[in-house]
Amino acid sequence: MKTNKTTLTPEQLEAFGEELDAVRRRILDDLGEADATYIRNVVKAQRAFEVAGRAMFYLPPAWPLAVAALSVSKILDNMEIGHNVMHGQYDWMGDPGLSSRMYEWDNVCPSEQWKYSHNYIHHTYTNILGKDRDVGYGILRMDEDQPWHPYYLGNPLYAFLLMVFFEWGVAMHDLEVENIVAGRRKMSENKALHAGIMRKVRRQALKDYVLFPALTGPLFPLTLAGNATANLVRNIWAFNIIFCGHFPAGVATFSQEECEDETRGQWYYRQLLGSANITGGRLFHVMSGNLSHQIEHHLFPDLPARRYPEIAEDVRDICERYGLPYHTGPLRKQLGSVARKIVRLALPPRSPRAEAPVVADPVAA
């Protein structure tokens, strides 16, 4: 809903931007050993969970524990490590193992493609309808300004399927299937992307569904099922955290016209109003890759995520002083809000005035 017309004067916006720039500089100047030790410890923990999980598949009674350990490993790898490392949050360390250029995650989506659609498209054009392809991921109706079509009656079903197959959805995301259906993109443009995805899919499938199960000999089916379950757990968790980032009620979306010739202050403003946090304990923040601090992440995507809690204090203070909303709430509340939106937007708008003419292809987001 584009109800958040700016409440700040251009001068205020500029001062607002400068204050956030100052926060950014302060953190940059302070980066050092504590940040390096932190991410290295997370990597150690992730590898330990991974090895423990793979090993426990040899003990059938420990199957649930093995699945749990492997799920934790995949969640840490994808979120607190993968997502954040690929944002370049630790590039200043100069460690190739933690470099945004080199890191590859335990996920079927090739990092190279994800960085384009996420770091560039999503983080630059956050919540701009028609530009940010993460608004509905090309298959869902997540905003009133997306014209309704009977196709969207399936909104809850599509969301459920996207949750279960989330890593596949993320991998397919870059193929822009909705744009091919709409005739805005040619199949041939996908050839290289497709090859990259298939290469990654083969490697992931070989490891999780052939080699590790085979190594457990007669326990092959159990291990295979365990690995699939761990991937599923990671999918469900990641989907839920990520959908709380931009879709809870009250979070703003923007039109392309509004965002033309944005200043840095305006860009910060859009990132702030277009994101929502989730409250929780320390462990919860780590397991969510600190995406529970979505607001701080969108303001400063390349600062180490472990700094977001301390940055949040400054951001809240700035928001209070400028009279800007700061969307946050516990996971249950944010998820409920997102779920209601998915269901509500499956149906046509109630007020006839708001009914936009259907001009684009139904699945165009």
Partner 1 sequence: MQRILRSRALAALTSPHGVDRYLELVNPMWAAAEVRARIVSIHREVDVPGHPPVATLTLQPTSTWRGHRAGQHVQLGVEIDGARRATRVFSISSPESGPGDRLTITLRANPRGVVSRFLVERARPGTMVHLSQAEGEFVLPDHVPERLLLLSGGSGITPVMSMLRTLHRRTHRGRITFLHYAQSPDHQIFAAELDEIRHSGHGTEVHLLHPELGDPNLSPAYLDRLVPGYRDVLTYACGPAPMIDAVRAVYDGSDVLRVEYFQPPRTSGTSAEGDVAFVRSGVEVANTGATLLEQAERAGLTPEFGCRMGICLSCTAVKRDGTVRNVLTGEESSLPDEEIRVCVNAPVGDCVVDL
Residues in contact with partner 1 by CB under 8 A are 21, 25, 28, 31-33, 35-37, 43-44, 47, 51, 87-88, 91-95, 97, 100-101, 104-106, 115-116, 119-121, 123-124, 200, 203-204, 206-207, 211-212, 215, 264, 267, 301-302
CB-CB contact of 246 with 276 (8 Å): yes
Nearest distance in Å: CB 214, partner 1: 10
Q: Which helix or strand (DSSP H or E) is residue 42 part of? A: helix 33-56
Burial of 320 (0-12, 13-18, 19+ CB in 10 A): exposed
- d(CA 85, CA 154) in angstroms, rounded, equals 35
Residue 120 vs 160, nearer CB to partner 1: 120
Residue 211 vs 343, nearer CB to partner 1: 211
Residue 243 vs 300, nearer CB to partner 1: 300
| Torsion sign over Cα 40, 42, 45, 50 | negative
Residue 47 vs 344, nearer CB to partner 1: 47
Nearest distance in Å: CB 32, partner 1: 5
Q: What is the largest CA-CA distance in the chain?
A: 70
Residue 57 vs 212, nearer CB to partner 1: 212
Residue 102 vs 343, nearer CB to partner 1: 102
Nearest distance in Å: CB 118, partner 1: 9
Task: Supply the DSSP string of 186-239, one letter for each residue.
Answer: -GGGGHHHHHHHHHHHHHHHIIIIIIHHHHTGGGHHHHHHHHHHHHHHHHHHHH
Nearest distance in Å: CB 188, partner 1: 20
Nearest distance in Å: CB 1, partner 1: 25
Nearest distance in Å: CB 207, partner 1: 5
| Residue 359 CB neighbour total at 10 angstroms | 7
Nearest distance in Å: CB 288, partner 1: 21
| Residue 206 CB neighbour total at 10 angstroms | 11
Residue 152 vs 269, nearer CB to partner 1: 269
- d(CA 301, CA 24) in angstroms, rounded, equals 10
Nearest distance in Å: CB 126, partner 1: 11
- CA distances 337 to 225, 272, 342, Å, are 33, 18, 9
Residue 45 vs 222, nearer CB to partner 1: 45
- CA distances 136 to 158, 247, 317, Å, are 10, 9, 31
Tokens 């969510």, located at residue: 288
CB-CB contact of 349 with 159 (8 Å): no
Nearest distance in Å: CB 250, partner 1: 25
The token pair that represents 76 in the structure block: 């840490």
Residue 125 vs 166, nearer CB to partner 1: 125
